[in-house]
A and B are shown apart, each in its own frame.
Chain A
Amino acid sequence: MYGDLANKLILEAKRTQQLVNTNASSELPMFQEEMVHLILKEVSQLQRNAEFLKLQEEGGKVSKCQYFVTMLCMERNKRCLLAYEKVRSEVLASLAWEHNGMEFFSDITGKTQDSGNLSHYEQEYLKEYSQLVSDMKTGDLIDVDLSGSLTPPSDVFIDVRVLRDAGEIQTEYGVFNLIKGSQFFVRQADVERLIQQGYLQKL
């Protein structure tokens, strides 16, 4: 049947969604290049059918019905393709909010090692969206760090343990020497970014 391939693609999209929901370190699975390609091929085939049906108009009721079903198949394929792409773009957008906009904003490709998994257009989208996010942060709301933590602050000072060696890291409020295994008692606002990046662990 015509919609079967698209159905497979939707299953893939569902799997992607579950994968992202279960573990926070979202690594987007491979873009299903050939499947999308096959579906698009199917669509163009359907389109040729539709054009052919359109030409023999004297068919009456039967050809009208055939034409309608062909259109419905195309529509279904379109819907599935868009849904798949939309799921992926949403994951990318959340990636842009969570991980970028930090100090290592520029090297997106270095950070997300799955950039090979993205299609060319998705890479472009990710780049542009990250740019948009950083633009948003420098607008009126410059005092409110928009990409900051969405868990409410409870303590002013917290204990943190260093998980990964990071050498000397400059925060806006001073210099820390982050040696693996050492502990600090610091202001939460200072180290929030470092926790998000995974250098520190909150105790």
Chain B
Amino acid sequence: MDINIEDILADLDRDTTAIDSGSAYLSSEHDTTRFSESNGDHKDVDRQVEVQKTSSHKTISAAADYECLVTHWRNERVAPELLAFPHLLMDRILHRLNNQIEHLENLSMGFLEHNFDKESKLPLLCMEAEVERLKFVVRSYVRCRLHKIDKFSLYLRQINQDRSNLESLNDLLSRQEMIYHERHSEILLKLFNNSILKHMPQELQAIDDTEGSVNMIDAPNWGKFVFLFVRGSPEGSSDPLQETNEDGQACYLVTIPELNEEVELTIGGIYVMRYHIIKHLLREDKVVLI
């Protein structure tokens, strides 16, 4: 007689690891990010964030944030449209980065004052390399977004003016990107106006003419093919979109409207697919672009 006691064992495991993981979480936070005086209030912020995120059951740690950032970065670089800006995540990451740089400076000062022989340079070196890497990812991410903002500036403006639209520009862009968007379109428009449009007849002076033979507003190429990896929901939680196919594998069903054909995206598979078909899955983090 086989009795499956895995759930009981898991329960026991959770009991013992509850303290462990908690303290590990705290200590790792101290190790990697070194909150100095702002320790208390930042924790509060973290808690609030955690409360907001309880629906998705995500624990907030530096490592998880980094994973999340890399996913955002990868998606942004592949997706044809501008994706929503992760405000909370970026706030946390920039805060940590700032703290870590300060901490590094303090440490290297300490090295100058009293040179211990036994203290090796290795941890310092690793931290520096790590900071450089994180900085690179953030830089690349932001630059990629700025490039897209330049490309779609008229389209974004149209979104902003369109009252019926669900997303406001505030969610899509960070505060600084808003400023960039506004100022850049302003000076670009000034250039065009001064050098060309001023000399044009009245009815041709618009920069965002949609009536003419060619639409002047560049919309993202929704039909672009992208590579995607189907990740599925994080744990075995119930997922309304998820279904089971004949082989018993979990999958998502999407429909290609042009062909009127249904496709199964099995979890763990890699597909090439038009972007607009998998847009809603990307929003909900079920797939990642590669």
Contact = CB atoms under 8 A, between A and B. Distances in A.
B184 interface: yes
Interface string B195-208: 11101110010010
A178 B160 CA distance: 52
A145 interface: yes
A72 B188 contact: no
Contact of B101 (A72, A93, A119, A143): A143
A78 B138 contact: no
B94 A153 contact: no
Q: Identify whether the interface residues of B are mostly helix, strand, loop, or mixed.
A: helix
Interface stretch (A22-30, A104-112, A122-130, A158-166): A122-130
Nearest to A139: B176
Contacts of B97: 143-144
Interface residues of B, number: 42
A85 B188 CA distance: 10
Interface residues of A, number: 43
B136 A152 contact: yes
Contact of A146 (B98, B139, B188, B199): B139
Contacts of A43: 199-201
B265 to A, nearest CB: 31
Given A44-B199, A85-B196, A143 B139 contact: no
B194 to A, nearest CB: 4
A20 interface: no
Given A89-B191, A125-B188, A132 B183 contact: yes
B143 interface: yes
A135 B146 CA distance: 14
Contact of B135 (A74, A136, A144): A144
15 contacts: A74-B204, A82-B192, A122-B191, A122-B195, A125-B188, A125-B190, A140-B174, A140-B176, A143-B94, A145-B139, A146-B142, A150-B139, A150-B143, A156-B132, A189-B132
Interface of A: 36, 40, 43-44, 47, 50, 72, 74-75, 78-79, 81-82, 85, 89, 93, 97, 119, 121-122, 124-125, 128-129, 132, 135-136, 139-141, 143-146, 148-150, 152-153, 156, 187-189
Nearest 9 interchain pairs by C-beta? A125-B191, A121-B194, A153-B132, A47-B201, A128-B187, A40-B199, A139-B176, A81-B196, A144-B138
Interface of B: 94, 97-98, 101, 125, 128-129, 132-133, 135-136, 138-140, 142-143, 146, 150, 174-176, 179-180, 183-184, 187-188, 190-192, 194-197, 199-201, 204, 207, 212-214
